């Protein structure tokens, strides 16, 4: 599968797949900023590498969940109107409009201007902080698929991704996010060790890390991920995108 990917920041990636432009988890507010959700305060430290007004036309949005500002902020919400949004079942009910919910393993055809992608929801656990979905994106007629994990820790159910699909590229939400008020500081996104284990279990040919920088509640970054993948013998599968720079992944 040929993918053109631009990492904009956090979990926000512009993807060109099968002739359609997809935007994941749109976060475009200027930084630094504080977001208060009592008793929690989330703080951003770096803004997007590409401004919202610099985006090309976007055909659809893949939104792992709508409840947290590091995955959907005020500016990002302006991009939801007028286009399909695939998200959680609960999120679709809250957002209304063009939002469509995906239960785990539910598949929808996404058709825009005569071009169709198949998108399947995947399970996830985001600690005790709400519903989340990942996505498998397929281009009809192609063997490999794209996996976007969403904000989840590694759970046994995710091994099914590798059994059902041949994963070429996996965009994994990392960062080892921890918030003391949520689950006593337990992981609410994958750390590097979990990401390496998931890479093995689903057989991903390439892993692109996202959601590992620009927020205070992330506890691991590029250094930890690189070291863990090397220790697991997976260094050759790890691929880092330069924020703001489009890159073709074949």
pLDDT tens digits, 189-238? 999 999 999 999 999 999 999 999 999 999 999 999 999 999 999 999 99
Q: State how far Cα 61 lies from the chain centre.
A: 11
Provide the domain limits for residue 104: 3-241
Q: What are the pLDDT digits (tens) for 109-160?
A: 999 999 999 999 999 999 776 799 999 999 999 999 999 999 999 999 999 9
Structure confidence by residue, pLDDT tens digits, 9-23:
999 999 999 999 999
Within the chain, strands assigned E span 3-9, 12-17, 20-24, 33-37, 40-44, 60-62, 85-87, 99-101, 107-112, 115-122, 134-138, 144-148, 166-173, 206-210, 247-249
Tell me whether residue 215 is in a domain: yes
Q: For the chain, how many structural domains are there in total?
A: 1
- Report yes or no on 145 lying in a domain: yes
The answer to whether residues 151 and 125 touch, using CB atoms and an 8 Å cutoff, is no
**H-only helix segments in 117-185:** 159-164
- Which CATH number is 75's domain given? 3.60.15.10
Express as a percent the part of the chain with pLDDT over 70: 98
* Cβ within 8 Å of residue 27, ≥6 positions away: 8, 9, 10, 11, 12, 48, 69, 70, 71, 72, 73, 75, 76
**212: nearest Cα among 190, 230, 180, 234:** 190
Q: Residue 25 falls within a domain, yes or no?
A: yes
The answer to whether position 250 is within a domain reads no
Average of per-residue pLDDT across 23-39: 93
- Tell me: pLDDT of 184 over 80: no
The arithmetic mean of pLDDT across residues 158-169, rounded, is 98
pLDDT at 182: 65
Cα angle, residue 163 at apex, residues 158 and 203 outer, rounded to 5°: 75
User: What is this structure's pTM?
Assistant: 0.96
Domain assignment present for 143: yes
Residue 22, domain member (yes or no):
yes
Report if residue 248 sits inside a domain. Answer: no
Mean pLDDT of the chain: 95
């Amino acid at each position: 599968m040929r993918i053109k990917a631009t990492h904009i920041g956090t979990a926000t990636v512009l993807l060109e797949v099968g002739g359609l432009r997809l935007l994941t988890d749109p976060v475009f507010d200027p930084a630094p900023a504080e977001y208060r959700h009592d008793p929690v305060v989330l703080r951003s430290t770096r803004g997007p590498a590409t401004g919202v007004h610099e985006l090309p036309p976007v055909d659809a949005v893949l939104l792992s969940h709508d409840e947290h500002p590091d995955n959907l902020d005020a500016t990002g919400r302006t991009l939801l109107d007028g286009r399909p949004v695939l998200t959680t079942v609960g999120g679709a009910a809250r957002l209304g409009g063009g939002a469509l919910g995906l239960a785990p393993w539910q598949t929808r055809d996404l058709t825009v201007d005569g071009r169709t992608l198949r998108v399947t929801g995947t399970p996830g656990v985001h600690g005790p902080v709400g519903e989340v979905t990942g996505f498998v994106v397929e281009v009809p007629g192609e063997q490999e698929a794209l996996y976007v994990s969403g904000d989840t820790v590694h759970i046994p159910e995710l091994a099914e991704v590798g059994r059902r699909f041949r994963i070429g590229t996996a965009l994994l939400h990392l960062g080892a996010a921890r918030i003391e008020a949520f689950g006593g500081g337990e992981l609410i996104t994958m750390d590097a060790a979990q990401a390496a284990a998931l890479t093995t279990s689903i057989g991903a040919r390439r892993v692109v890390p996202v959601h590992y920088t620009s927020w205070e509640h992330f506890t691991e970054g590029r250094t930890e991920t690189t070291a863990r993948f090397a220790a697991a013998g997976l260094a050759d599968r790890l691929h880092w995108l330069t924020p703001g720079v489009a890159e073709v992944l074949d």
